[in-house]
């Protein structure tokens, strides 16, 4: 089996990288703690297997993911990989707490430092965020910066954060600017209005939720904007659809589990693992430049590569694309 990772161009940024990228939320302790040694082993294995796109954020483990990713990448030739991170949250010891690390009273990220993510979309906040990310990473150049989860801050993102990122792009500090969100409606607004180069859409284009296909992805295709798809397993349920699995960072409902069981049955009829279909279905869309998959072990990196190259008969795509029950479950 040919496991070579094809190279892609991320839209008008001109950046060339692997079609499969490593998402680093798990390295920040998403749902469960990950040791320093294990996190480093994940990044090492990703590099060994040809992955050259690495996505991180200050939020992921309150700086842990950036530090752990940087420890490995800082030893690699800088021009051989694409590094993306996010802005809009600063890590502080005090301030108005962003509730993103809390779900029904339980922290999403485990084993994090005693810091709190504080929203700041101002120009000064954007500059500080990038400077602090570079320091945590130990890498002096970030290729792409996404405004991270401005769901309740559309105007601040449009009026303050994105103009500052565009200024940094014009100054050749960044190669690409965009937004990363778990929704597609606001991302479509940014594509229409804000001169972005790239969007990271998490969980809204997948086997179980294809809502980005109705507006966002056609817009990206029309305007030459790179779309990077994250959350292709919808935070876990499409990778391991058992009771207790997570969907959108919360325990999956029975309705979601039943739906995933139907999808797994369709895949099984064609002899294809659900995980392979989940990765490759997303990649098939002509607007999707690259796919991010998170991993918390070297074995999960290997599995993502294997699933990304698993032979899939055209009949499966016909069956899945003809199954039009879309939208959030």
Map residue 309 onto helix, strand or coil.
coil
| The pLDDT of residue 85 | 98
Distances (CA, A) of 319 to 71, 213, 325: 44, 17, 12
Return the pLDDT at 176: 98
Under 8 Å between Cβ of 108 and 102: yes
Residue ranges in the chain whose pLDDT is less than 50: 1-2, 324-329
Q: Which two tokens stand for residue 200?
A: 């990271």
For the chain, the structural domain boundaries read 7-321
CATH of domain 7-321: 3.20.20.100
Measured CA to CA, the distance from residue 9 to residue 71 in angstroms comes to 26
Name the DSSP class of 232. T
Residue 94 confidence (pLDDT):
76
Structure tokens at 31: 């749902």
**Annotation says 60 is catalytic:** yes
What's residue 98's pLDDT? 57
- Across 141-151, b (16+ Cβ under 10 Å) vs e yields ebbbbbbbbbe
Specify the pLDDT at position 103.
52
Question: In which residue are the tokens 């999956």 written?
Answer: 252
In the prediction, which pLDDT does 329 show?
A: 40
pLDDT at 325: 47
Out of 60, 146, 205, 247, pick the active-site residue. Answer: 60
Q: What is the pLDDT of residue 327?
A: 41
């Amino acid at each position: 089996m040919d496991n070579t990772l094809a190279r892609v161009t991320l839209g008008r940024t001109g950046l060339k990288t692997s079609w499969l990228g490593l998402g680093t939320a798990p390295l920040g302790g998403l749902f469960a703690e990950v040791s320093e040694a294990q996190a480093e082993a994940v990044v090492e294995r990703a590099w060994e297997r040809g992955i050259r796109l690495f996505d991180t954020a200050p939020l992921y483990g309150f700086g842990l993911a950036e530090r752990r990713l940087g420890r490995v990448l800082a030893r690699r030739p800088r021009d051989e990989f694409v590094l993306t991170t996010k802005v809009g949250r600063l890590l502080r010891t005090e301030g108005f707490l962003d509730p993103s690390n809390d779900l029904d009273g339980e922290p999403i990220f485990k084993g994090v430092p005693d810091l709190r993510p504080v929203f700041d979309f101002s120009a000064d906040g954007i500059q500080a965020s990038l400077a602090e990310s570079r320091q945590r990473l130990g890498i002096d150049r970030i290729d792409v910066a996404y405004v991270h989860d401005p769901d309740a801050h559309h105007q601040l993102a449009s009026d303050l954060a994105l103009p500052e990122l565009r200024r940094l792009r014009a100054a050749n500090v960044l190669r690409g600017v965009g937004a990363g969100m778990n929704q597609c409606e606001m991302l479509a607004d940014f594509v229409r209005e804000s001169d972005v180069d790239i969007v990271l859409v998490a969980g809204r284009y997948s086997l179980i939720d294809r809502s980005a296909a109705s507006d966002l992805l056609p817009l990206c295709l029309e305007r030459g904007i790179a779309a990077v798809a994250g959350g292709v397993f919808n935070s876990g349920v499409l990778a391991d659809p058992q009771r207790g699995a997570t969907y959108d960072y919360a325990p999956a409902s029975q309705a979601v589990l039943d739906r995933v069981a139907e999808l797994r049955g369709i895949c099984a009829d064609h002899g294809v693992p659900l995980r392979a279909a989940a990765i490759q279905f997303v990649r098939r869309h002509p607007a999707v430049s690259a796919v991010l998959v998170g991993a918390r072990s070297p074995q999960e990196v290997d599995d993502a590569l294997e699933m990304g190259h698993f032979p899939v008969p055209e009949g499966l795509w016909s069956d899945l694309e003809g199954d039009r029950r879309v939208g959030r479950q």
